[in-house]
Amino acid sequence: MNIIIVGCGKIGVSIAKQLREENHDIVVVDKSQDKIEEVTGSYDIMGVVGNGTEYSVLEEAGIEEADLMIAVTGQDELNLLCCVLAMQNESCNTIARVRDPLYSRQSELFKERLGISMIINPEHASALEMSRILKFPNAIKVDTFSKGRIELLNFKVQEEHVISNMQIMDIHSILKCNVMICAIERNDELIIARGTTYIRRGDIVYFFASSKESQKFFKKIGIKNKAIKNVLLAGGGTISFYLSKMLIDSGLNVHIMEKDKDRCEFLSAYLPQAIVVNGDASDFDMLLGEGLEDADGFAALTNIDEENVFLALLAKKHSHAKIISKVNRMTIGNMADDLEAGSIISPSNTAANYIIQHVRAMNESLNSNVETLYRIIDGRVEAVEFVVKESSKIVGIPIRELKIKDSLLVCFIARQGESFIPFGDSTIEVGDSVIVITTQKGLDQIDDIIVSH
């Protein structure tokens, strides 16, 4: 596809990099020549220096031939205007980054009245990820599939866990849990799980299950699920606002620390159920005074990555809270992972995942389309959900008879409201949602899971 990306900030660069890896033709637009030179030099893509709200600049970027225009500048209004201009080419789809809560509430109106294909709010999407993690405090990260019925969770195996040194094929018979272990991260090694794979202490294990089964699984392997009631948030920015609202709606107690007085007044007005304190979260004594030691959940959401990691490490040392850190630069995020500073959420990566999912859906074939997509383990693995729309060459054939690619595992099938782990005699049928995990990038139809001749 021919894709134009307006805005070369963290999100724009992340999207450009990932879409280029999928062999799309990318042109980036930004007012900064330095940013254009940096991006084009790093990822072998074209660039135009200019303002994306000027149609002549979009023309230079190739808007007349574009299939998709993605506007991800730092200003919502500019992004919406870019999309309106891009639709002078009637065949061009558009995606706008919209962060302001006021605009986000009108996202359906923008799509309907302005014809914008997709509204992406990285902060809201990141807050949603964080709320899921706080729902499952035993997991490092939680992603959802099959309209929320199936979840992909990951956790770190400790010596005392029952599954340490157990073969995957024995887990179902011993624990009687309907879970599908699909991938293992062992130091720098990536393992697509097979029945003969052993689980070792220190492994980060990724598995699919329903919410009920995942809770059962954690309990049986020796991980107690402590319900979260009190959450302390360091920083009162946009993510903190969205997350607070989600947590309050779920009946949790929320305590926000924010050093900007005007922002505190805003939060107090729009989140009356939250406790909002005007104070600097980097002041350790103040953090302790606001209840860090008694918190069940803690999220470091300041605008400084290093500060978030530092706060997470403090919370790890002085509390038993479930810890989440917002990190924009993944070099810092990788360091935080090494230090085991809680769950790491990157708004730019979150936004990129949603946009790539949308792009895959635009490329849908007659047989199926990508319904859900997440990139995990530093982007080395994709978890993809296909909806099988019409008959294909794999429909109705037992899975054991299909030549499934070595780099791929069929993990779950959802059919008529029921979800199940497929076995050798299971078949894929029209109407199914099929969840696979793979190291191969760019799958966009169900037939891509088998070896082609």
pLDDT in tens, 92-146: 999 999 988 777 777 778 777 788 888 999 999 999 999 988 988 888 888 888 8
Query: Are both 97 and 26 inside the same structural domain?
Result: yes
- The domain boundary residue, chosen from 221, 244, 259: 221
**DSSP codes of every residue in 373-422:** EEEETTTTEEEEEEEE-S--TTBTS-GGGS-B-TTEEEEEEEETTEEE--
pLDDT of residue 258: 96
Query: Are both 258 and 207 inside the same structural domain?
Result: no
Residue reference for tokens 């280029």 = 20
- Statement: residue 183 has pLDDT above 90: yes
Query: Are both 286 and 235 inside the same structural domain?
Result: yes
| Structural domain for 379, as ranges | 359-449
Query: Are both 382 and 438 inside the same structural domain?
Result: yes
362 vs 213, more confident: 213
pTM score, two decimals? 0.81
Query: Are both 155 and 72 inside the same structural domain?
Result: no
Residue 354 in any domain: the answer is: no
pLDDT in tens, 190-230: 999 988 999 999 999 999 998 889 889 998 998 877 789 99
In this structure, what DSSP letter does residue 228 have?
P
Task: Tell me the β-bridge partners of 324.
Answer: 299, 343
Query: Are both 265 and 166 inside the same structural domain?
Result: no
- Statement: residue 363 has pLDDT above 70: no
Residue 35 is encoded by which pair of tokens?
A: 């940013």
- The domain boundary residue, chosen from 221, 252, 268: 221
Residue 7 is encoded by which pair of tokens?
A: 């805005």
CATH number of domain containing 364: 3.30.70.1450
Task: Give the C-alpha separation, 126 to 149, whole Å.
Answer: 20
Mean pLDDT to the nearest integer, 322-328: 91
pLDDT of residue 359: 81
Query: Are both 340 and 367 inside the same structural domain?
Result: no
Residue 352 in any domain: the answer is: no
Going 213 to 219 to 223 to 224, the CA torsion angle's sign is positive
* Alpha-helical regions (H) of 22-71: 33-43, 55-61
Query: Are both 261 and 341 inside the same structural domain?
Result: yes
In this structure, what DSSP letter does residue 279 have?
S
User: Which phi and psi angles does 149 have, rounded to 5°?
Assistant: -75, -30
User: What are the b/e assignments for 101-113, b being 16+ CB within 10 Å?
Assistant: eebbeebeebeee
Query: Are both 156 and 50 inside the same structural domain?
Result: no
Residue 215 in any domain: the answer is: yes
Task: Give the C-alpha separation, 434 to 370, whole Å.
Answer: 10
Residue 129 in any domain: the answer is: no
Query: Are both 188 and 255 inside the same structural domain?
Result: no
Residue 126 in any domain: the answer is: no
Query: Are both 26 and 6 inside the same structural domain?
Result: yes
Cα-to-chain-centroid distance, residue 426: 29
Look at the chain and report how many structural domains it folds into.
4
Contacts of 148 (CB under 8 A, 6+ apart): none
Contacts of 304 (CB under 8 A, 6+ apart): none
Query: Are both 243 and 314 inside the same structural domain?
Result: yes
Task: Give the C-alpha separation, 105 to 94, whole Å.
Answer: 19
- The domain boundary residue, chosen from 287, 315, 345: 345
